Chain A
Amino acid sequence: MSKNKTLEALKHAIVMGHLDSDDEGYDGMMEGTPGTMELVETALGDGIDPQVILTTFNEAMEKVGVKFESGEYLLPDMLASAECVGEAMDILEPKLAAGSGSGKGKFLIATVKGDLHDIGKNIVITMLKGAGYQVKDLGIDVPADDIVAAIKEYQPNYVGLSALLTTTMIEMEQVVKKIREAGFNDVKIFIGGAPTSEEFAKKIGADMHCRDAMDTIEKIEGTQDAS
């Protein structure tokens, strides 16, 4: 297989959520054919630049995003594709680190104290991994001090805060305040969750408000382009 064909096949496998040859894929017909994992190995074996493979991941996920936005894909279809990329990143990441700049940055994420919701947060995590970010998940009901301590230890480029309750979105304000007070002024703070809004993000001093997982990806990619 030529290098271009390998990359085309890889892109197709991701779009179809075809993880490996045991997986049936979006159309249910792909079992027994090479999936994302096999094709990434093939691509690396062929000597394709890991950075180029990463670009292929992005192109594939963009295509998936379009299919989701248009209603052709359901949420689990999109998650299947994101999982392909997330798993494949485990193979690709060490190779990227060996070369120049690795991945796109580190993302620390948590549901704030008092709030036990994690479905939305977990979707965002899968999508971020799919887009090539390293994600550290602190879980649910996380006190502000723990988030600040984790920033110290993990040195993320981004922090994501989730809250699903009107009562706990107030907690976000405290978290943002404590992060800035601790001197982390460069870390970009993303907030999300049903009761939150653009205005609220501005009011509490967060950098971005995200409506959903796709919006998170679009906004974070925007910050990448700007830098």
Chain B
Amino acid sequence: MIIIGERVNATRKAIKTAIEQKDRDGIISEITLQDKYGADYIDLNAGTGSGTVQQEMDDLCWLVDIALECTEKHLVLDAASPEILSNAAEHLNNRRPWMLNSINGELSQEELGIIELAASYQVPLIALAMDSDGIPPTVEKRLAICETIMQECESRGLGEDKVFFDPLVLPISTDHKQALVTFQTIAKIKERFPKAKTTLGLSNVSHGLKKRALVNGSFLTTAACFGLDSAICDPSRKSIRRAIVTGDLLGGKDRFCRKFSRSLRQGLFDEEKK
């Protein structure tokens, strides 16, 4: 499982504050925490929602500089505007392997610009299975959006192997079949685009429920069994790490159950002391 650490996102209040106050140490601790717990990529999002485009541009470069200094992990440049991403890409200058987050099936000029940016650097791009009408509730519609996105990517020189599809998930509290829709969408994407990867954010599934860590973890484990390649998540949470290890174990990705047994030895599955 490719783990994309989601913590450095300005939609979180602590990160928004850290960016606004240029709290370097605050950001460093967020990054190194995820590094320590096995993130493969560190997502960097500077969209505080309160500043100008120029401000977000500068802030994202500031995050990139910090990340380059405090971790060896790969980076994810996360923003909605191609100008901001393009500027950050130029600043990063391939000093580290990286990818882009994200576009969706709306395919506005902005999004086409992001596809072109990904193509020009030949880096992976996360693509969400939704469009201007939102997240469709059916497998068929989500897959149709993926088809459209893939056509646009390929016509702009971004190959199937560079696309990470996020099948997305709607809360099961309002439609109890929605986790299943996500699992089936993952399987369909893998079937239709065997070279593409799938990734997934988790927390939406348990919106409005209790014991959310349990629900999110079970959701991730099951998604792994349906072929999920990557998760956008917080690996510093034990429930997430457990879900990833058991997902790889049950999903047929853990030869000789080695990751499982290593995690066992490291105490990942020990009972919590009350």
B86 sits at the interface (CB 8 A): no
B141 sits at the interface (CB 8 A): no
Chain A residue numbers with a CB within 8 Å of B256 are: 17, 76-77, 79-80
Min Cβ gap B249→A in Å is 10
**A74 and B262 within 8 A (CB):** no
Within 8 A of A (CB), among B37-69: none
Min Cβ gap B11→A in Å is 34
Chain A residue numbers with a CB within 8 Å of B261 are: 74, 76-77
**B257 and A74 within 8 A (CB):** yes
B258 sits at the interface (CB 8 A): yes
B207 sits at the interface (CB 8 A): no
A28 sits at the interface (CB 8 A): yes
Main secondary structure of the interface of A (DSSP, over half): loop
A27 sits at the interface (CB 8 A): yes
A24 sits at the interface (CB 8 A): yes
Chain A residue numbers with a CB within 8 Å of B257 are: 74, 76
The residue on A at minimum CB distance from B259 is A28
Min Cβ gap A72→B in Å is 9
**A17 vs B258: C-alpha distance when bound (angstroms):** 10
A26 sits at the interface (CB 8 A): yes
The residue on B at minimum CB distance from A80 is B256
Within 8 A of A (CB), among B235-267: 256-259, 261-262
Min Cβ gap A33→B in Å is 16
Min Cβ gap A91→B in Å is 21
Question: Hey, what's the 0/1 contact readout for B67-79 against A, CB within 8 Å counting as 1?
Answer: 0000000000000
**A17 vs B257: C-alpha distance when bound (angstroms):** 12
Chain A residue numbers with a CB within 8 Å of B259 are: 28
Min Cβ gap B117→A in Å is 33
**A156 vs B257: C-alpha distance when bound (angstroms):** 34
Within 8 A of B (CB), among A35-51: none
Chain A residue numbers with a CB within 8 Å of B262 are: 27-28
Question: Hey, what's the 0/1 contact readout for A77-89 against B, CB within 8 Å counting as 1?
Answer: 1011000000000
**A24 vs B262: C-alpha distance when bound (angstroms):** 12
Min Cβ gap B219→A in Å is 26
Within 8 A of A (CB), among B184-206: none
**A166 vs B159: C-alpha distance when bound (angstroms):** 57
Min Cβ gap A75→B in Å is 9
**A80 vs B258: C-alpha distance when bound (angstroms):** 10
Chain B residue numbers with a CB within 8 Å of A24 are: 258
Chain B residue numbers with a CB within 8 Å of A74 are: 257, 261
Min Cβ gap B252→A in Å is 13
The residue on B at minimum CB distance from A75 is B257
The residue on B at minimum CB distance from A25 is B258
The residue on A at minimum CB distance from B264 is A74
**A27 vs B256: C-alpha distance when bound (angstroms):** 12
Min Cβ gap A20→B in Å is 13
Min Cβ gap A24→B in Å is 7
Min Cβ gap B179→A in Å is 30
Min Cβ gap A89→B in Å is 19
Question: Hey, what's the 0/1 contact readout for A135-162 against B, CB within 8 Å counting as 1?
Answer: 0000000000000000000000000000
**A17 vs B262: C-alpha distance when bound (angstroms):** 14
7 extra A-B contacts, CB within 8 A, seeds A26-B258, A28-B258, A77-B261: A17-B256, A24-B258, A27-B262, A28-B259, A76-B258, A77-B258, A80-B256
Residues of A within 8 A of B (CB): 17, 24, 26-28, 74, 76-77, 79-80
Residues of B within 8 A of A (CB): 256-259, 261-262
Q: Could you list 12 examples of A-B contacts with CB < 8 Å?
A: A17-B256, A26-B258, A28-B259, A28-B262, A74-B261, A76-B256, A76-B257, A76-B258, A76-B261, A77-B258, A77-B261, A80-B258
Nearest 7 pairs between A and B by C-beta? A76-B256, A80-B256, A76-B257, A74-B261, A28-B262, A17-B256, A77-B261
